[in-house]
Structure 1
Amino acid sequence: MKHLFFVLALLICTHTASAQLFSKNKIQNNQNMDKAKWSWGYFLGFNSYDFNFDYHEDLPDIQTLKSIGFSVGLIGNMRVNDYIDVRLEPGLFITKRELHYHTSYFNGLSYNDSDLLREVNSTYIHIPLLLKLSTKRVNNIKPFVVGGFSTAVNLSSNESNPDDNSNGQFRTKSGMLFYELGAGIDIYLPWFKFTPSIRGIFAINDELVRDIDPDSPWTSNIASMKTRGLFINFTFQ
């Protein structure tokens, strides 16, 4: 995922920047748009969440089946200078993952086919604080990179549910911490600024809530389970 993220970011920036750099100067739209100390906007986008597992014993990896989720949120931007901005981007991120266990996790135990599958539904209130570093504006585009830290509350975590996997409940923690890295391009249109961007997020803390049974086939072999994800956002300011 990290390799895909950086390759896509590089291709977006390189293609659009080169197209503008080698063209004649054009009339700039919204020349004073970036001069305001504070600016606001919103974003719509797609997300794809995954899990990164570390294990105690060398058993087959738990396979994560990802899906495409939906994202929506607001943007608050504070201008530091022509090249640096500080951004707050609270949003709602909805996603679903399926965990597929190998039969070796149930060695010596009786199990059904349903025991090999666990669904993890997540609804995150995601709040990142980001530093945006932009290049010089060229005609009507301005490429940038962005990075920072974020916190998220998972409204679908089941952390406080007394039932665990023995009753079909896979539980995750409600509070998460991430670091984020991304890239994008500000495109200045006649009436507003449109920004496509791509960003990777990587969890800092373990998200798994372990079962009551210390020998649980679902959680006993997991040393840590950390979320990672890819965002594609479309921003309007």
Structure 2
Amino acid sequence: MKKICFVLFFFVSFANIQAQGFLNLFNKDKVINLENFDKKTWSWGYFLGMNSYDFRFDYELERSDILVQKNVGFNIGLIGNVRLNDYIDFRLEPGVIFTNRILEFPQFEENRDRIREVESNYVHIPFLVKFSTKRINNFKPFIVMGGSVAHNLSSNEDNRSDNTSGQFRSKDWSTYIEVGFGIDFYTEYFKFSPSIRGVFGQSDEIVPDNEPSSPWTRNINEMTTRGVFINFTFQ
């Protein structure tokens, strides 16, 4: 986490230096789109994107790792932005995330015991702070960081069946820390913002099997989500 924060700090500092150094050069005879867009207190938009989710396992004993097959998922949602000053905004980005992961337990030979699919369709609600550099004509780099909560609509936490019946269970609710960066591009009619974001789970999501000695869950001390978002925002 410290390394990520350092990289983001370096990114913003470098972008700001470039903005100051080349601002006069870029300003010559350049058409400025949506010149007053960022002066509004409130602004709205939506985003579309992709995701790749993984699991991080903390084990009781050192044994064979559970393998996670990641798949590309889909994100869609809305944006509410509150301007605090020229460089800081508060954002609420409620959305829906569709993803799935396949777990492989190497201690089993037969696929019916070895493979478990974990479907996750989240209602995802991030609370973020956006830190921007000075605008350079029609683009402006930024970083975002904050926290989020998510409700897994595909959760089977209350299912009485467990891995002995082929059901790998995970919890309904989870919490995350989110850190990312991107660039605002000002077009003639709207602001377009591609970004990349890391998502780091802070809550244990596993539901242990009914039998404490279960070969699937007995060695798992904690299971948390981590993932990457690539979002395309339109405001």
Query: In the alignment, does 2:44 pair up with 1:40?
Result: yes
Name the structure 1 match of 2:26. Answer: 24
**TM-score w.r.t. structure 1 length?**
0.89
Query: 2:115, 2:186 → 1: CA distance?
Result: 47
Aligned-pair CA distance for 1:21: 3.6
Query: 1:234, 1:5 → 2: CA distance?
Result: 22
Structure 1 residues 146 and 8: CA distance shift in structure 2, 3 A = closer
Name the structure 2 match of 1:64. Answer: 68
Structure 1 residues 9 and 200: CA distance shift in structure 2, 3 A = farther
AA at the equivalent of 1:113: N
Give a deviation string over 1:28-53, Cα, whole Å, max 9, x none: 10011011111000000000000000
Q: Is the 8 A contact 2:8 2:180 kept in 1?
A: no
Q: Is the 8 A contact 2:140 2:184 kept in 1?
A: yes
Matches within 5 A, 1:77-96: 77-96=81-100
Name the structure 1 match of 2:80. Answer: 76
Query: 1:201, 1:10 → 2: CA distance?
Result: 20
Name the Cα RMSD after superposition. Answer: 2.6
Name the structure 2 match of 1:233. Answer: 231
Query: 1:49, 1:3 → 2: CA distance?
Result: 20
Query: 1:10, 1:98 → 2: CA distance?
Result: 36
Name the structure 2 match of 1:160. Answer: 158
Give a deviation string over 1:143-168, Cα, whole Å, max 9, x none: 00100000000001101111111110
Name the structure 2 match of 1:145. Answer: 143
Q: Is the 8 A contact 1:89 1:129 kept in 2?
A: yes
Name the structure 1 match of 2:116. Answer: 118
Query: 2:69, 2:6 → 1: CA distance?
Result: 22
Aligned-pair CA distance for 1:6: 8.9
AA at the equivalent of 1:76: G
Structure 1 ranges of 4+ moved more than 4 A: 1-11, 17-20
Q: Is the 8 A contact 1:48 1:229 kept in 2?
A: yes
- SS of residue paired to 2:57: strand
Structure 1 residues 223 and 128: CA distance shift in structure 2, 3 A = same
Name the structure 1 match of 2:205. Answer: 207
AA at the equivalent of 1:94: F
The one of 117, 121, 127 aligned to 1:129? 127
AA at the equivalent of 1:24: F
Query: 2:213, 2:48 → 1: CA distance?
Result: 43
- SS of residue paired to 1:121: strand
AA at the equivalent of 1:168: G
Query: 2:200, 2:172 → 1: CA distance?
Result: 16
Name the structure 1 match of 2:218. Answer: 220
Aligned-pair identity (%): 56
**TM-score w.r.t. structure 2 length?**
0.90
Query: 2:118, 2:5 → 1: CA distance?
Result: 24
Query: 2:5, 2:49 → 1: CA distance?
Result: 16
Aligned-pair CA distance for 1:102: 1.2
